[in-house]
Amino acid sequence: MSNGYGIHMRGGVITERNPDFCTVRVRIPAGNLTIEQMRGLATIAKTHGPGFVHITTRQTIELPHLNPSDLPRIARKLAKNGTPLGSERDEVVNVIACPGTERCKYANIDTIGLAKKIDERLFGREMPVKMRIAISGCPNACTSPMLNEIGIMGRIQPLRIPGQCTGCGTCAKYCRENAIVVKNGVSVLDPVKCIQCGICIQSCPFGLLQSKFRHYLIMVGGRRGRHPRIGRTVMMVEDEEQVVAVVERIIQWVYRRAWSGRLLSEQLDDLHFDEFRKEIAAEISGSTGMQTLG
């Protein structure tokens, strides 16, 4: 970052409609900022811009209407502030996540910690296509993981202990999918309707519902925009390190196989996605010694 031209070509720098100005997008994994970082961004925006910022859909901040000649100084200040230049082009862009188990009562996984791990290993990596990664702590899918190039969702499968259910119906009342009914004084789960959100486990007043397994559903090839498309399931795993390994493997696969100029969602069949899914399942299972969930 020794000259303005080099910085201008970085993915976090966006030329505005008026080409005399640019917007700088900041790297903020999972959208978490300290008070000090917020103050720092405010100072930079006031010093070099019009004094306001824009909150993006990818849980980051943009500093608008900047003079391109100020970019070297701005970049140095952003790095010192712990909020360096972000990414927006054909790269791995800002990783987004819901609050997860740190704050959300519905969450099944630690989304923030996972987002930071993925960010540390993959953020800003140049790719033939833009790679958006979203993590959701439960099937409520607040971050829309199924509409990103890579989506991760935390789920939990309920386990009913035979002979202990009181038939109070609390779990059936709280189930939003109508997947539970009380028959002959016992709650019965319809596995076809169940989306494995885990709300029934939390709702049981007697603690008789338990988790059979907590896991991560990993998807690839989703997209938003004018023609939204749901991503395809790659696999389910139970360990956070397996998640990171799968995501890294997907990034490697896309980097080596995908074509520029086309969205990833449009290339999955050409990239032989089904074969890749079988390969990665065997690789992850073999390298960790743990069984993956297909």
What domains can you pick out in the chain, each with its CATH number? 4-80 (3.30.70.3340), 96-156+210-288 (3.30.413.10)
**Is the distance from CB of 85 to CB of 13 less than 8 angstroms?**
yes
Separation of alpha carbons 182 and 204, rounded Å? 13
**Is the distance from CB of 41 to CB of 102 less than 8 angstroms?**
no
Q: State the residue for tokens 């791990």.
A: 117
Residue among 175, 110, 123 nearest 150 (CA):
123
Note down pLDDT in tens along the chain; length 294 residues: 333 447 776 789 999 999 999 999 999 999 999 999 999 999 999 999 999 999 999 999 999 999 999 999 999 999 999 999 999 999 999 999 999 999 999 999 999 999 999 999 999 999 999 999 999 999 999 999 999 999 999 999 988 877 888 889 999 999 999 999 999 888 899 999 999 999 999 899 988 888 878 999 999 999 999 999 999 999 999 999 999 999 999 999 999 999 999 999 999 999 999 999 999 999 987 665 444 555
* Angle between helices 111-122 and 240-257 in degrees, nearest 10: 40
> Which token pair is 167?
């038939």
> Which token pair is 252?
């490697």
> Which token pair is 127?
């790719």
